[in-house]
Every structure is written in structure tokens, then in C-alpha cells.
Structure 1
Amino acid sequence: MRRVLLTKRGLLLGFLAATALFVPARTEAATNISPNTSEHWAWNDVIGWIDFYNTNTVTVTSQKLEGYASSSIGDISFDCATTRNGNICGQSNYGVMNTNGNLSGWGWNDAYGWISFDCNNHGGCGTSNYRAYVDGNNGNFFNYAWNDIVGWVSFNCADPGLCATSNYKVITSWRLSAKTGYLDSTTFDTGSPNGAQLNSFFWLGSKPAGTSVRFQFATSNTTSGPWNFIGPDGTGNTDYNADPGVPVRLNYVLHVGYRYFRYRILIASNAAQTASPRVDDIVVNWSP
């Protein structure tokens, strides 16, 4: 039985390549706010209803809020780059940032000025500890924003306890999701002219809670392939989910009689995008 060990140095370079393939989720529609009647409204006691849907511009991304909502006092803009008048960041560089669902920064209204989404905007939260946020599991906005003239802006009737009399809220289709990436190995030669039998593999490194490391394998009798990466059912729709240091048996039927092989690592962060796996070494066992 033979094995190939990819060194820590080689995997480090590969891991950097894999992390470069991470792509944050983003919705490309004009708006991802719910069109349902009760699911796109915020409330303020002075100016009344704020409509997040009818301008068809408000979009929640993994980085920020884009576009502008409408109200009785005109637009409430969340991003200087996507106002009704286009990009005005050269005149005033403001925006509402999204960090794993937690909103911060400033919105703007021409009549009443700045709207703060986070008490830390004022240098501290000692007198009023507020912060608007989006629940990454269901897309509901919660808590409050603040304007020095009109006061609190409520995004969900649950916060002031008014849902029995006025069932309003703002809901987006955006969800907090993991970043994913992959790495394809170089081609390995088993040295067996008649083909080898791939038996198992394991990897060393770390896998924080909520993250994943998965593998697919491809085999061929030529160095040029074709390279079809497959999982245990013989298709590209499945993979081998593996924990560090735990050997995983490969499907013997799928990888027998081939001289060359490659593997694909599929890695995913946790949903909050605060932790990701680290792969140091990979060991593949085969029989000549």
C-alpha cells in the first residue's frame, strides 16, 4: 500500500489559492426587499411610513445597503453611490454597512439630515444602546435607527410590541451564508502501469465549528485527463465530508485501474463568515 503526502508548504500555497476563490453571496436584482404588503415598511412617529420597496432600489448585500426608500419627507438614502441622482460620493461619502447582519453607518434625508443605524456612530452607546440589524436566518430587520429631529425609526413591529395593532416590518431575501471555495490538486502518478486502486485519504489541519472540508476525486490513465471530479455515488453532485485526522474510505469501484489521480478540496466558512478551515497536509492511500 502506498501513499502520497502533500507537504505543508504545498498545501499552504494551495489554500491561499482556494481562499482567493471565495465569492460572497450577492443578489443582483434591482431590489431584494419583500413586495408583500406588510413586509417592506418602517415607521417613525413624526414622518409616518417609510417604504423600502416602491423605489425598486433598496438592496441588502453582504457588505452594505444600497438604494433609497421613500417617505413623506422624500428619499431616505442608504448609499451615496446609489442615490436617485446617481453617485454623489464625491460630495458626501456616506453609507449603511452590513457586517454579518449588523448594520452601521449613516443614511441621509434632504429634509432632516443624517440617520444613524448604530449608537457607536456617536462615539459610544452609554445613553442609548441601539443598533439596527438584519436576522441572517430569515431576513427580518430589527431594532431602531435614529435621527436627531424626528427620533426613532422602527423596522419591525415586534420591537415596540405593536404587532397586534400594526403588523409592519421590513424583510429582505438576503441571508447570511458561508463563503465557499475550492482547490484542485496537481496530477499525481501512482507509478502503476496497469493502474492502481485508490483506497482512502485523510487530511490534517483545523475545522472550526460550522465550517466544512469536503473532497472529490478524479482518475485517468493519461496525464491530460479527462478529469471528472466525483463523490461516492460516482457523480459530481456528491462529495466526501471529512474531519481532520479521520481516514475516509473511497468507493473502490470508482477508482480502480487508473494510473493518475487528482483531488478537489471544497472548503466553506461558517455562516457568519468569521471562521474558515485550514488544511495543512493531505494523505492518499492506494494499492498498486
Structure 2
Amino acid sequence: MTAPSLPAVSTQVTFPAGDVEGRSTVVACVPLPDGRHGVVVERTPFHPLDHTWPDQPADTGTLAGQAVLDCVTGGLSPEGELSLGADIPVRRGDADWSWLVVHVVAEPVAVGEDVELRVDADRRAALCASHTGCHLLALALNSALAPRWRKDPGRSDSLGSPDFDSLAMDTSRMDTAASYDVYRIGKSLKKKGFTADGLADELAAVTDAVNARLAAWVAADSSVRVEAPSPELTARREWHASLPEGHASIFCGGTHLHHLGELAALTAELRLSEDGTELTVTTTPKRA
């Protein structure tokens, strides 16, 4: 859709620091095809669904007292064409495009109005728990599967284990209850050096090792933070955790806990497909 009124300036975001409220000026209000309206402000605490890697759901809440029904990523092309979500034809962060947080509401909001933005804080906290749990699972799984690499695959995680999580990842999704990761154990992974023989027989032991490590990390109440080089939506942010084994980091655009003591428990369930080519992990946080 053509949106000549939209400014060619990317939205600034405050959710990386954990903000759930703020005030800002409305810079555009765009009618959407379904009759709703997309509101863009200068600065927002809302986390939108990422169109390139849609792992974390969008925040909900209110804007100027109206319910924010959805929150999506918008891309404004150099020609002034606005695309939303999956319709964006370029990858996140393309330097020629402007990147916008588009808050979907029922009624239009006046451009220039100073509005209050409030994120549903409890829902955000649940999503943070699931997202932090997802990263911890990746590190614990990498460690548990490290003995299965017969050679260096050329990629390690920040704690030094071969990075099974990134090399085998197919999909990663989360909701307010858990995170769900699907890994492909195919020919390409085996060519990199991963040995899948006997994994089905050892899956219970691998699960125990993963859960023991997750429990130790939760008990250590390790600190967690997200570093952002700039406030723009598409800045390349990085998750950091100070774990007993060392400093861990993963590039991530989502929201997270501030310390692992916000969890009472974190457990993973591993399932291997009958043909051994797909490993599915459900990681469930229990908030303190």
C-alpha cells in the first residue's frame, strides 16, 4: 500500500530494556484493508512480530486507551510503499528501507497526538520467561550433545560447545506457556560431523543432562540482559547471561527476564521422530 504520510525514519523501541509503558507522538495512522488502523509512533515499548524470524508473538496492551489488537513489523520502501509482516519483500534491516512498529487498533488516532502506550505486563513477563528458557535450552542441549560430534562442525556456542542448536534448527516458536524448537537431523548435519546413531536409546539420558543443567542455572539466579547498539527497531541486539560455566551470549531481537531467579523451575521435554530425523523440544518455564 502507498503511504506517503509515513516518515522515512525507523521506530525507536524500548522493550530491549524491559519497558512496558511509555508516551510518544503519533507520526502516522494508516487504514488497513480489514477496516482496522495501523498506528505508528516515534518511540514504543511494544514488541512486534518479526516478519523474518517470527518466534516471539507480538505484545498486546493499549494505545491512547484503545486495545492494541496486534503489533506487526512494517517496512517502508524508498518509493513510499508500506508492507506489513509476511508481505514485506526484503529481509529485516535492509538499509534502504525504514522499519516501523505498527500498532493495530480499531479506531483511528490523530497524527501529532501525544499518546500513552501500555503493554500487557503479565503477558510480556510470560513471553520473557519462555524466550529466556528457549536460549538456555539451546546452550544446555548443545552441551549434552557435544560428545556426539566426531569432528569440529566449525561453529560453537558462546560456552564452547558445538552449536547443534543453530546448525540443526528448523523452527523455533514460543507462547506464554513454553517454547517449542524443532531440529532437523539430516544428511547435511551428519556431513558436518554429528553422529545420530543410538540417539533414540540415549534420549532419556540426554534429557536428564539438559534438565540438570537448566535446574542448576535457575538455582544460580544468573543475571540476564539484552544489549542494543542503538534504539532502532532493527538494531542487532544480543542476549547475555552470566552463567556458572561462563558468559553466554546469543543474538536475539526479543524480550527477556532480568535474572533467572524470576523462574521457580525450567524443564525440557525431548522427543525424537520414529525415523530419527526430527528432534522436538518443549521447554516449560515456571515463574517464581
Q: TM-score range by the shorter chain?
A: under 0.3
**What TM-score, normalized to structure 2?**
0.22
More helix by share: 2
The structure with more radius of gyration: 1
